Amino acid sequence: MPPAPLAPLEDDDLLREILLRLPPQPSSLPRASAVCKRWRCVAVDPKFTARFRAHHGKPPLLGVFQHRDDGIVFAPVLAPPDRVPPERFDLRIPDDNPYLGPQLLGCRHGRVLVFDRPRAEVLVCDPIAGEERRVAVPPEFRTAGVNGAVLCADRGQGARRLPLQPLQGSTCGGSQSILVGNVLYWLLSHAEGGILQFDLDRQSLDVIEAPPRMDVPRSWQIVRAEDGTLGLAILSHRYHNIQMWQRKVNCNGVGTWVLLKTTEMHDIHGLPPPARRGMELIRGYAEDADEIFLYLDGIVYMVQLKSMRSRKLWETHHITLCHSFNSFYTPGIGIAGARYNG
């Protein structure tokens, strides 16, 4: 007689297919790996975790890093059991002087980029693995502000290094970099100055003119347009609305800005009534989720730009930029920093 078929959860191939379809939240694979040693062997297998990342594509948003009065801190945005405690991602970078201490430059691909001004070094930190690498800043940039971007390139052909491009702070004004396609963008110091772009393929810098009337009081943020091209979200302090702009380039290479839509603040679901609002600022952008961080009089919200629906994150007196941190969570590391032993 042929042997009896294995039960579904006793078949390793079928078990992999089941675990592959778990949600990509931080608690999923660590909790599955704690069921038994057999499940753990599957969950921590490098080939399986690579399939898991490829299957889900975009990693979940775990929280944001901010440079505040008390240093560079992590603020989680998920609810338990997926909430990552702030101390779990503590970068432990001394910050004795807010003007001469470390400067947070940005986050991307599960890495955090910090300029350590006292040591004239750039730190590339992996908060999940608890690792960091240091890169010396060229001498010509050590007396000025520095801006930059972190990229971890892997397109199925193995990792390839992309050059770190330090940029004078007076040019970029400490703004966040936004990756659209294979081009990085920064806002220039003054809105009317336009946008700085760095093409990773051509290794070239260029400046794009801003839309008209950018000199009026507004808060603006580089975003990805719906078709994956360069866009802008502009919050008008005067009219209390958000304008969505897109840059279109014709067959001759001539680019123009097109206003796609205007949404009144009182039409964004989840925001308080206008009478209860004070200061209004855009404080960051989550590239993968296409959401902006909105600061409204002591409260930070996330606004999904396609649906224009919001959710409240936290109350704060800090008005600093929110650098979104997205990553898949390593199965061998617990949410609170303790390892699952199976």
Give just the sign of the alpha carbon dihedral 91, 301, 236, 225. Answer: positive
What's the pLDDT at 224? 92
Q: Which amino acid is at 243?
A: Q
Residues near 333 by beta carbon (within 8 Å), at least 6 away in sequence: 30, 128, 339
The two three-digit tokens of residue 144, written as one number: 């000025």
Question: Is the pLDDT reported for residue 336 higher than 70?
Answer: no
What's the pLDDT at 221? 92
**203 and 158 inside one domain:** yes
| 293 against 174, higher pLDDT | 293
Instruction: Identify the band that residue 297 occupies on the pLDDT scale cut at 50, 70 and 90.
Output: confident
Task: For residue 284, report the phi and psi dihedrals to the nearest 5 degrees.
Answer: 155, 175
Residues near 251 by beta carbon (within 8 Å), at least 6 away in sequence: none
- Quick count: other Cβ atoms within 10 Å of Cβ 79? 7
What's the pLDDT at 99? 61
| 276 against 74, higher pLDDT | 74
Kindly state whether residue 1 falls inside one of the protein's structural domains.
no
Question: Is the pLDDT reported for residue 309 higher than 60?
Answer: yes
pLDDT one-digit tens code per residue, 226-235: 888 899 999 9
**31 and 86 inside one domain:** no
**321 and 208 inside one domain:** yes
The two three-digit tokens of residue 97, written as one number: 């002087």
Kindly state whether residue 44 falls inside one of the protein's structural domains.
yes
- Average pLDDT (8-13) is 71
**194 and 96 inside one domain:** yes
What's the pLDDT at 18? 92
Q: What percentage of the chain carries pLDDT values higher than 90?
A: 32
What's the pTM value of the predicted model, to 2 decimals? 0.82
Say whether the peptide bond before residue 81 is cis (omega within 30 degrees of 0).
yes
Kindly state whether residue 338 falls inside one of the protein's structural domains.
no
Kindly state whether residue 186 falls inside one of the protein's structural domains.
yes
Q: Mean pLDDT lowest for which of 47-56, 139-148, 178-187?
A: 139-148
Q: Mean pLDDT lowest for which of 28-32, 120-124, 333-337?
A: 333-337
Question: Is the pLDDT reported for residue 29 higher than 50?
Answer: yes
Q: Mean pLDDT lowest for which of 35-39, 166-170, 287-291?
A: 166-170
Domain containing 39: what range? 9-55
Any idea what the CATH number is for the domain that residue 210 is in?
A: 2.120.10
Kindly state whether residue 332 falls inside one of the protein's structural domains.
no
pLDDT one-digit tens code per residue, 197-243: 999 888 888 888 888 765 555 788 999 988 888 999 999 877 788 99
DSSP codes of every residue in 282-294? EEEEETTTTEEEE
Instruction: Identify the band that residue 78 occupies on the pLDDT scale cut at 50, 70 and 90.
Output: very high
| DSSP H or E stretch at residue 199 | strand 195-199
**72 and 50 inside one domain:** no
**157 and 192 inside one domain:** yes
Kindly state whether residue 4 falls inside one of the protein's structural domains.
no
